[in-house]
Amino acid sequence: MSHFLVALALVALTAWALTLKGGVIGIVFVAALLYLAYKRLSLLAYTTTFGVLLVAYSVIGEPAGLWKGFLWLLFATLALINVVPLRQRLLTRPFMRIYRRMLPAMSSTEREALEAGTVWWDGELFTGKPNWSKLLGAKTPVLTAEEQAFLDGPCEELCRMVDDFDITHRRGDMPPEVWDFLKRKGFFAMIIQKKYGGLEFSAYAHSCVLAKLSTRSATVSSTVAVPNSLGPGELLQHYGTEDQKNHYLPRLACGEDIPCFALTGPRAGSDAASLPDFGIVCRGQWQGREIIGLRLNFSKRYITLAPVATVIGLAFRMFDPDRLLGGKNDLGISCALIPRETAGITIGRRHFPLNVPFQNGPIQGRDVFVPLDFIIGGPAMAGQGWRMLVEQLSVGRCISLPSSGTGGGKAAVFATGAYARIRRQFNMPIGKFEGIESVIARMVGLTYTMDAARSVTAGAIDGGEKPSVPSAMLKYHVTEMSRQVANDAMDVHGGKGICLGPRNYLGRGYQVVPVAITVEGANILTRSLIIFGQGAIRCHPYVLKEMEAARNPDRVQGVRDFDDALLGHVGFTLSNAVRSLIMALTNARFTAAPVDGPVARYYQHIVRFSASFAFAVDVAMLSLGGYLKKKENLSSRLGDVLSCMYLASMVLKHYENQGRRPEDLPIVEWACRNLLYKAQEQLHGFLRNFPNRFLGGVMRFLIFPRGLQYSAPDDRLGRTLAELVLAPGAVRDRLCYPVYRRVEAGNALGLLQEVLEMAEQAETLEKRLRVEGVKTGRVTALDLPGQIEEGERTGLLSRDEAAWLRNYDRKVMDLIHVDDFAPHELGTNGKPRLRVDAAVQEQNELFV
């Protein structure tokens, strides 16, 4: 409130400065106070400066009058507000009562989700003045010698073993030798500690392995990702009892046990509070004796690895109606670990997710009785399941899907760049057409953005962070960028991409994209409810403090804490309003940047958007209160702005991590321009749709006083990006690392790279045939093989040149050709049948 009065004084003094003869003093006055707001000095500094300048104005400026009396009244008010007991009684307590009524209701699951993980760079972006040293000072993620050897050895060997068409079309599963290799080489044990027989890899190494496998087979990468993500292994290491760890972790590490985790069901997906699966604490028989245990009833679906799992992680609501544990009836969500062979479990049937046959299926349980010791962490962890899940999800969601999506993007760029160079139409590579150049440029820029977000955030995890809000950003934006890259690759390839068969290297990756969009929190929900909804409370420097103070049962301490938070919050908002206006007017040219050179401007622009974003968030939360939670389109746009700033920061940090290579600069520029333009457009959309038109107008004046200044990357820059991947080179190799690129039969990526390296010489020979042969009439054949033959006969090509060009053309045509099948090779034998097992039917009826 005190800062609000300062703001009123600034408005009044600005008017005076423009109209009175003492305008110079007034301008100095206003500039000084604006500077204090920009620098976020304290209320006492505001008041002192106001008083000093007001004395100077009274002595030097216009004669005394009503106006000067008003200014002295403002100063007196500010001075009184500095008296803490008076401020708390007259301002803080009344506002605190209003604030309590504005607070939205919060369920226990929401509260646990908010408390999960840590606040990292996302918190800095909420400040309006991010501390770049926190990001740039983070260690560059690197692989250890052991991790690099695994990537170059077992990973490479696994990729060589995989025939994705055989997996997806003929078998509907990975062959036994691949399953055995995964178990023997520890692919299911990357996150398990070495003392239990695991590999204990860093998050970055874990991410690199998944990215590499994703360039070869989505089925293999999904199968490897799940045991190393949110599931029994992760939960046991953090929350399991010593007996549970010693029993299960060595078995999981060697592949003797295959885990799955069952959370989602037909009636409750992302809404964990509505989970209908339940366990009742009761007495029952276990191995010939009566014990206190749990009788479980559940119906789950979409559970990856369920059909082959030997041990099931289960999330359920736990009740103790007879108070056998001595506490309350509803104990909340719990997690248990249950062997597959336990009586009452129905398991083994499979879902078929978009023709990509990773093991996925339903699990049902009817009156499944297990000991309380099956709860992960034992009976002491009863009711702690949701907290356990969201804490670990903040890490797992940063790795599995972002790594797979990035790997898919790298493979698509690697293949499309080569294909667009060797595929010719109208006597030129299709990659030289502007329309295709722009598409390839987008693929390159988005893939660099995905890789930057993946690697830098994985490095933060290795540094001890559990970035819950960034995990939601990466889940949504990386999978959406991966979808765009897959669509673009398919557009460039045309008929080559849509005909499935052993020669098709895009189709299954294209088909599996919606799976990533759907799992671990559907993207629509993640964007509209989680990114901003969680970030606004968790990352804001004051909101969570205010909420905790308002709910503090100790009223005296609550008022003190609320007063501190409120005072800081008001000054924070006004400072961001001033910072937003000044940086918008100056285009952030005078904002400090942590580095010099061509990327410095992007640091400045991110700081500008940080201030504008923080100001808009505060206005929205203050004016809409709990209603903002229901205005999902508004919060989605604010979440997009936050995400664009985060991703642009990751791009800049990734550029630093890779040694600020000048040849990478065009990609960095494209990525940052693209993200800043999107941030501007989403902020513009937020202002256009803000329900309070007056406040929307005020925000627009302070955020965009010069209008919309940012534009998308231009065509010239896009052409440069396309050229970087249309030819062999260090930038292409660095961008697409670690794709599986071995030159061998069955690996299209390696074969494409091989002919790409031959393309320049081939184009020279083809041009000679065209210019000196076809145009002069010495060569009349319509196809290239005929032209080569005539060119050799007429002396345009030497024997060696003709042989080399024939070999090149054969390799190219082998890659361009698509598969065809005899009628009996497609379809199924007999009519497909859909059935519902009796046990499944009975289980479904249980929940009606």
| Residue among 425, 405, 353 nearest 211 (CA) | 405
Structure tokens at 31: 């500039």
Q: What is the 3-state secondary structure (H, E, C) of 499-512?
A: CCCCCCCCHHHHHH
Burial degree of 426 (CB within 10 A; 0-12, 13-18, 19+): exposed
What does each C-alpha distance from 111 to 259, 537, 540, 621, 845 come to in angstroms?
29, 10, 16, 18, 33
Q: What is the distance between the alpha carbons of residues 55 and 25, in angstroms, rounded to a whole number?
A: 11
Nearest to 191 by CA among 233, 245, 147: 233
| CA separation, residue 215 to residues 307, 353, 738 (Å) | 25, 19, 8
In one letter, which amino acid is 588? Answer: A
535: buried, middle or exposed (CB in 10 Å: 19+, 13-18, 0-12)?
A: buried
**Roughly how many angstroms between the first and final C-alpha of the chain, as a whole number?**
54
In this structure, are residues 360 and 303 in contact, taking their beta carbons and an 8 Å threshold?
yes
> What are the structure tokens assigned to 263, written together?
């959370």
Are 748 and 503 contacting, i.e. CB atoms less than 8 angstroms apart? yes
Active-site residue numbers?
A: 520
Handedness of CA 528, 534, 536, 539 (dihedral sign): negative
554: CB partners within 8 A, 6+ apart: none
| Dihedral angle computed from the Cα positions of residues 661, 667, 669 and 672, in that order, rounded to the nearest 10 degrees | -120
CA distance 642 to 675: 10
Phi, psi of 196 (to 5 degrees): -105, 10
Q: Which helix H or strand E contains 179, and what residues bound it?
A: helix 176-184
Eight-state DSSP code of residue 63: P
Strands (DSSP E) contained in 170-288 are 259-262, 278-286
Q: How far apart, in Å, are the Cα atoms of 549 and each of 112, 325, 760?
A: 18, 33, 68
Q: Rounded CA gap, 701 and 686, in Å?
A: 14
Whether residue 321 has a cis bond before it, omega within 30° of 0 = no
Alpha-carbon distance of 810 to 567, in angstroms, equals: 74
Distance CA 600, CA 147 (A): 34
Cβ atoms 679, 651 nearer than 8 A:
no
| Residue recorded with tokens 């736990």 | 318
Amino acid at 414: F
User: Where is 353: in which H helix or E strand?
Assistant: none
Contact between residue 206 and residue 399 where contact means Cβ atoms under 8 Å apart: yes
Give the CA angle between residues 565, 570, 576 to the nearest 5°. 120
Beta strands in 224-376, from DSSP E residues, in sequence order? 259-262, 278-286, 289-304, 311-319, 330-339, 345-347, 360-371
* Pairing of β 311-319 and β 278-286: parallel
431, 440 Cβ separation under 8 angstroms: yes
Closest CA to 410 of 354, 482, 477, 468: 482
Dig out the tokens for 841 from the structure.
């039917």
Asked whether 621 and 692 are in contact (CB, 8 A), the reply is no
Contacts of 66 (CB under 8 A, 6+ apart): none
